[in-house]
């Protein structure tokens, strides 16, 4: 019988898995989530630099790369590393929860990998959706990796699993969203504040050199990687607990049925 999914049980199971399989999960994180974190931080900083540059050079030709090209390149890299990272860690945590053998490094050969890729491509535009839908769909990546369904079926499956546990999902979304957002935007917002306070020099906007951006990426990426790892791990554990709790509730309901005799004379 699976324990009732709440924050204390979720944290307990997550700590157990990360403690028992820490090196394996850290290896996957270093391969997939660390580059993803670097891309997040570098692009966030670089986008602020581009905005500052174009603000002070609106009527002048520029030698900088086309922002649209940079965004497409960034999207390709982020798509690849996020798909591989979420798939491998989700699959590994699922098997670690039940103590079965697994090899997370080769997860890209999983039959559900293509379905997960399709789901990510379809639902990337929904990043700006309301918090209510984010809570209902928090288990979609886990469902697509671990169950043979994707698309609308994965959305319905996630909504049914999370029913009655929206408070737990909301806490996870707010916590990891806040911490990852602070890590991503604290340095760029500091740059904007610095530029606004110091103004410009001879009509040319102040900018930070590449050394500052690289220094920020090196200092922040490992911490962001850890948050992404725990985010994926806790979502997987939440899926397992919700699925087990739903199964147990179904068994209880089935045991409550009374068998009626078929003899009309009774």
Mean pLDDT of the chain: 71
Q: Provide the pLDDT confidence category of residue 207 given band limits of 50, 70 and 90.
A: low
**What average pLDDT does the segment 219-247 reach?**
84
Provide the pLDDT for residue 32: 85
Please say if the pLDDT value at position 91 is more than 70: yes
Cα 255–261–263 angle (5° rounding)?
170
* Token output for 107: 């997860």
Domain spans in the chain, listed from the N-terminal domain onward: 7-255
Provide the pLDDT for residue 185: 72
What letters, b where the CB count within 10 A reaches 16 and e where it falls short, cover 100-138? eebebeebeebebbebbbebbeebeeeeeeeeeebbbbb
Please say if the pLDDT value at position 12 is more than 80: yes
pTM, 2 dp: 0.63
Provide the pLDDT for residue 211: 63
Greater pLDDT, 4 or 23:
23
Alpha carbons 161 and 156: distance in angstroms, whole number: 9
Provide the pLDDT for residue 266: 44
Alpha carbons 38 and 24: distance in angstroms, whole number: 21
Please say if the pLDDT value at position 252 is more than 60: no
**What average pLDDT does the segment 171-186 reach?**
82
* Residue 201: alpha-carbon gap to chain centroid: 41
**What average pLDDT does the segment 82-91 reach?**
84
Please say if the pLDDT value at position 63 is more than 50: no
Measure CA of the first residue to CA of the last residue in the chain; give whole Å.
38
Provide the pLDDT for residue 260: 42
Q: Provide the pLDDT confidence category of residue 205 given band limits of 50, 70 and 90.
A: very low
Among 11-15, 22-26, 117-121, 124-128, the range scoring the smallest mean pLDDT is 124-128
Share of the chain above pLDDT 70, in %: 58
Which tens digits make up the pLDDT trace of 140-169?
A: 888 888 888 778 888 888 888 888 888 888
Share of the chain above pLDDT 90, in %: 0
Q: Provide the pLDDT confidence category of residue 192 given band limits of 50, 70 and 90.
A: low
C-beta of residue 187 within 8 angstroms of C-beta of residue 216 = yes
């Amino acid at each position: 019988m699976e324990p009732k999914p709440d924050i204390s049980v979720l944290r307990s199971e997550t700590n157990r898995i990360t403690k028992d399989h820490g090196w394996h999960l850290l290896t996957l994180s270093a391969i997939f989530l660390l580059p993803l974190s670097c891309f997040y931080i570098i692009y966030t900083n670089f986008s602020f630099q581009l905005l500052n540059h174009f603000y002070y050079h609106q009527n002048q030709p520029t030698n900088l790369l086309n922002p649209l090209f940079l965004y497409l390149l960034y999207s390709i890299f982020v798509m690849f590393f996020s798909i591989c990272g979420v798939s491998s860690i989700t699959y590994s945590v699922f098997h670690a929860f039940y103590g079965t053998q697994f090899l997370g490094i080769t997860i890209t050969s999983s039959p559900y990998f293509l379905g997960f890729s399709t789901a990510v491509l379809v639902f990337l535009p929904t990043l700006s959706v309301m918090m209510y839908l984010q809570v209902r769909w928090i288990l979609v990546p886990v469902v697509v990796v671990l169950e043979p369904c994707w698309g609308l079926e994965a959305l319905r499956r996630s909504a049914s699993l999370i029913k009655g546990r929206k408070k737990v999902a909301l806490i996870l979304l707010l916590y990891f969203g806040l911490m990852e957002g602070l890590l991503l935007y604290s340095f760029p917002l500091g740059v904007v504040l610095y530029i606004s306070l110091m103004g410009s020099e001879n009509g040319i906007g102040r900018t930070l050199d590449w050394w500052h951006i690289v220094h920020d990426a090196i200092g922040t990426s490992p911490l962001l990687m850890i948050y992404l790892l725990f985010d994926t791990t806790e979502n997987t554990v939440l899926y397992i607990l919700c699925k087990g709790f739903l199964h147990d509730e179904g068994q209880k309901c089935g045991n409550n049925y009374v068998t009626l005799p078929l003899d009309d004379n009774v």
